[in-house]
Amino acid sequence: MASSMRSLLSDHRRYFEAFRSFLSNSTEHQCMQEFMDKQLPGIIARIGDAKSEIKILSIGGGAGEMDLQILSKFRARYPGVPIINEVIEPSAEQITKYKELVAKTSNLENIKFVWHKETSSEYQNRVMEKKEIQKWDFIHMIQMLYYVKDIPATLKFFHSLLATNAKILIILASGNSGWGKLWKKYGPRLPRNDLCLYITSSHLTQILDNLGIKYECYDLLSTMDITDCFIEGNENGELLWDFLTETCNFTATAPPGLKAEIMKDLQEPELSIRKEGKVLFNSSMSFIVIEP
């Protein structure tokens, strides 16, 4: 029965297992790396001009892999300039992994790390209560807006924190990806969690337009190998099913008809391509750069 399904976010251990499976089967990090190498240096070219230090705010920094990539570009562009890197991350487990990564990474001199175990809304409330508005030179939100309840208010708040020449970088699912089509069709039949919104760049750019906020949007192709999803009882496939549907133990709890419908759609050209015997889900991403 559908009522036995529950959100993947209700089980943090299962969520991180599914997330790790997604990362190992997708080109997401390679796609982000391509953006960091080719686009980011130009985007940050003027951010630190005439500044004695650069202040970076990471919202939902996770385990820090992408944060350190971003920091490496700043160090290359502004050698010797001190950097303050504050991280907002609600998961204690992820913060621990982030700290471990920093401890074993060289060339991080001149960078001060500060971690806060809180959500973006908790950070916002804390700042507003203290009335100590800190301006930032670069704010990034990587794959985290799905977990924000009031996106327009969140964007307005962080936009108000931008210093001179500052930028906000947002990374999330492209409106042209398979995610958008999957969520639109099946979202109402999957377990909803008020901590997870089915949002893509199409929704986000509409919100930014309504707010009158200037931005640029870059789309890059990314794929996820979901071949194992079509092998009955495959452990990796089970985790990928969970991540695709945001449902804990989806194959064990979903009505057979629902799984069959999604399985059929996952093989359609609108959602996936076939290449060398593999089924590759379109998990393309959008990189949205916001200006003051």
Confidence check: pLDDT of 194 > 60? no
Q: How confident is the model at residue 43 (pLDDT cuts 50, 70, 90)?
A: very high
Number of domains in the chain: 1
- As a whole number, mean pLDDT of residues 82-86 equals 98
* pLDDT tens by residue, 143-160: 999 888 899 999 999 999
- Rounded to whole angstroms, the Cα distance separating 221 from 167 reads 23
Given this model, what pLDDT does residue 196 score?
Answer: 59
Given this model, what pLDDT does residue 25 score?
Answer: 97
Is 94 labeled as ligand-binding? yes
- As a whole number, mean pLDDT of residues 239-254 equals 93
User: Measured at the alpha carbon of residue 118, what is the angle toward residues 117 and 123, in degrees to the nearest 5?
Assistant: 125
Confidence check: pLDDT of 1 > 50? no
- As a whole number, mean pLDDT of residues 42-65 equals 94
Confidence check: pLDDT of 211 > 90? yes
Q: Give residue 114's domain range.
A: 2-290
Provide the edge-to-edge strand list for the sheet that holds 215-220.
111-116, 83-88, 54-59, 136-142, 162-173, 285-290, 215-220
Residue % of the chain over a pLDDT of 90: 79
Confidence check: pLDDT of 252 > 60? yes
Confidence check: pLDDT of 244 > 70? yes
Is 109 labeled as ligand-binding? no
Taking phi over 0 as left and psi of -120 to 50 as alpha, with beta for the rest, 110 belongs to left
- How many alpha carbons lie under 13 Å from residue 243 in its C-beta half-sphere? 25
Is 111 labeled as ligand-binding? no
Residue % of the chain over a pLDDT of 70: 97
- As a whole number, mean pLDDT of residues 35-64 equals 95
- As a whole number, mean pLDDT of residues 111-125 equals 95
Q: How confident is the model at residue 130 (pLDDT cuts 50, 70, 90)?
A: confident
Sequence-ordered alpha helix ranges (H) in 86-150: 92-103, 120-130
Given this model, what pLDDT does residue 2 score?
Answer: 43
Can you state the angle between helices 120-130 and 151-159, rounded to 10 degrees? 50
* pLDDT tens by residue, 271-283: 999 999 999 999 9
Given this model, what pLDDT does residue 195 score?
Answer: 55
Q: Which residues pair with 55 in a beta bridge?
A: 84
CATH code of the domain in which 131 resides? 3.40.50.150
Q: Which tokens is 78 given? A: 């502004």
Report the greatest alpha carbon distance in the chain.
62
Confidence check: pLDDT of 117 > 70? yes
Of 76-80, 128-132, 258-262, which gets the smallest average pLDDT? 128-132
